[in-house]
Amino acid sequence: MNVSGHQFLEDVLRQLDEAAEILELDDSIREFLRAPKRTVILSIPVRMDDGSIKVFTGYRVQHNNARGPFKGGIRYHPSVDLDEVTALAILMTWKTAVVDIPFGGAKGGVKCNPKEMSRSELERLTRRYTAALFDVIGPHIDIPAPDVYTDEQIMAWIMDTYSQLKGEPTPEVVTGKPISVGGSECRKEATAYGVSVCVREAAREYGLELKGASIAIQGYGNVGFNAAKILHDWGAKIVAVSDSKGGIINRDGLNPLKVMEHKKRTGSVINYEDAENIANEELLTLDIDFLIPAAIEGQITGKNADKIRAKVIVEGANGPTTPEADRILQERDVKVVPDILANAGGVTVSYFEWVQNVQKFRWERDEILMRLDKRMVKSFKDTLEYSKRYETGMRMGALLLAVKRVAEAVESLGIWP
Ligand code: NAD
């Protein structure tokens, strides 16, 4: 992670203060929204494969549930700390509010290096962490999901541990599960689909033609690759893509599926036969219609923001733009569709997964994509409306929309007793 957890949390709280100022929120509501409702810090003893016991530190921060049960991913990473998890929990509250799903915001994390752990060590860690959280999670309390270095297998272990302790199968306690145990169709490409809808809607709003529009994508994983595939199908031209090893460019357009075949064969997109190699930094500053950062945070910074030539940035990744870069982009009138809107397709389909589990009924692919598309279009329009009403960029527009929705819910419920 590029920014420290502490700096990240400060930035998130400062943004909230700015939004509260613009919305003229009451000081007491602002204070309420700054503080997470519950923070759990755990010591998680795990028997390692060599027989030794290692104690890991785990967190679950439940920020706000005024609009519905807490919702948010679980991250396994060496850099996890309380400030980072808290900042991410607050951002989840805004994200669920922007797309108007009836959930609040939470985040969990365990400070560990999953790359150095065996599958059985990860299973024991996950089950012990879930058992320790048993009283504070649940289908109508707090519903975890995958995040960095946690996947559908880990979600299946969470579901199984919770169900064993509860004494009944409870798939709706967690989302992002394998389809065999109640996972939803389209969950894997949901974030990329939402990103693609934002590109389509931004093209409409800013007078660009999606057919033939030039697009560069940083990161060729779940979000980057699937967005390339969908946007290519919709007629856009994917001119450049990259991964952690470097990037490639072909001004006539790349074939996303062939690039993925090459990546699977060689381990990277670089040296693809039908393109030239470029540095990651160069990809970010290409003269194109859309730039989609879909890799890691802190990529567009004070150092390169004045060189960005894309007309619109659609943030697939979480936090790819630093606050300093954001100011520069706004001064230069580069349009930015912010992460809490652009990548909210994932949490939206997570919500659909939960609804299907609660109803004990499965929806088909077409129905899920139709509902996701509709919700992303509505959220895009709502955000745009707020950014116009308050004469700000879309990032602040999305935050204003979210904070207003959460503040209204808090005010309606009141403070008890
Ligand atoms: P992933 O691990 O599948 O893919 C990440 C890709 O980024 C890989 O191709 C990797 O090689 C590349 N990468 C890493 N460092 C890079 C660098 N410095 N320059 C260029 N490429 C680099 O991850 P993902 O699930 O696609 O997530 C990508 C981003 O989207 C993350 O910020 C994540 O938090 C965010 N996000 C993902 C989802 C989801 O549903 N997967 C939902 C919301 C947000």
CATH value at residue 266: 3.40.50.720
If you take atom 14 of ligand 1, which residue's CA is the nearest one? 244
pLDDT band at 2 (very low <50, low <70, confident <90, very high): low
Rounded to the nearest angstrom, the distance between the alpha carbon of 107 and the centre of ligand 1 is 18
pLDDT in tens, 280-332: 999 999 999 999 999 998 999 999 999 999 999 999 999 999 999 999 999 99
Asked if residue 99 belongs to a domain, the reply is yes
Residues 104 and 211 placed together within one structural domain of the fold: no
| Full domain range(s) for residue 98 | 35-171
- Where does a domain end: 342, 361, 386? 342
- Same domain? For 162 and 225 the reply is no
Contact (CB, 8 A) for 274 and 249: no
Q: By C-alpha distance, which of 351, 358, 399, 400 is closest to 372?
A: 351
Task: Let me know whether 137 and 206 are in one domain.
Answer: no
Considering the domain architecture, whether residues 332 and 303 belong to the same structural domain is answered as yes
Same domain? For 195 and 127 the reply is no
In a domain, 193, yes or no: yes
What is the per-residue pLDDT across 198-221, written as a single tens digit (0 to 9) for each? 999 999 999 999 999 999 999 999
Per the domain annotation, does 382 fall within a domain? Answer: no
Find the catalytic residue in 107, 111, 177, 311: 107
Q: Return the beta strands (E) in 95-231 as ranges.
A: 105-111, 142-146, 214-218
Is residue 132 lining ligand 1, measured as CB closer than 6 Å? no
> Based on the domain organization, do 147 and 56 belong to the same domain?
yes
Query: 159 and 197: one domain?
Result: no
The kind and range of the H/E element at 335 are strand 335-337
DSSP letter string, 97-119: HHTT-S--EEEEEEES-GGGS-H
CA of 319 to the centre of ligand 1 (A): 11
211/167 same-domain check: no
Domain with residue 145: its CATH number is: 3.40.50.10860
Residue 20 lies in a domain: no
Q: How many domains does the chain have?
A: 2
Residues 91 and 193 in one domain: no
Contact 195, 219 (CB under 8 A): no
Our answer on whether the CB atom of 223 is closer than 6 Å to any ligand 1 atom is yes
Mutate to test the pocket of ligand 1, among 92, 223, 262, 297 (most ligand atoms within 8 A of CB): 223
Q: For residues 283 and 238, is the Cβ–Cβ distance under 8 A? A: no
Does residue 245 lie in a domain region? yes
Pair (160, 195) in one structural domain:
no
Q: Tell me the CA–centroid distance for residue 291 and ligand 1, in Å.
A: 15
Confidence of residue 4 (pLDDT cuts 50, 70, 90): confident
Residues 124 and 227 reside in one and the same domain: no
Last residue of a domain, one of 140, 171, 202: 171
> Catalytic annotation on 107?
yes
With a cut of 80, say whether residue 369 has pLDDT above it: yes
Pocket of ligand 1 contains residue 90 by CB under 6 Å: no
Cα of 222 vs centre of ligand 1, distance in Å, is 7
Domain presence at residue 376: no
Average predicted confidence (pLDDT) for the chain: 97
- 186 CB within 6 A, ligand 1: no
Assess if residue 108 is contained within a domain. Answer: yes
pLDDT of 1 strictly over 80 = no
- Give the pLDDT mean for 124-142: 98
How does pLDDT run across 269-279, given as a tens digit for each residue? 999 999 999 99
Domain boundary among 124, 143, 171: 171
d(CA 19, CA 399): 7
Tell whether 353 is covered by a domain.
Answer: no
116 and 209 belong to one structural domain: no
> Six-digit token pair at 124?
């024991």
How much is the average pLDDT of 31-60? Answer: 98
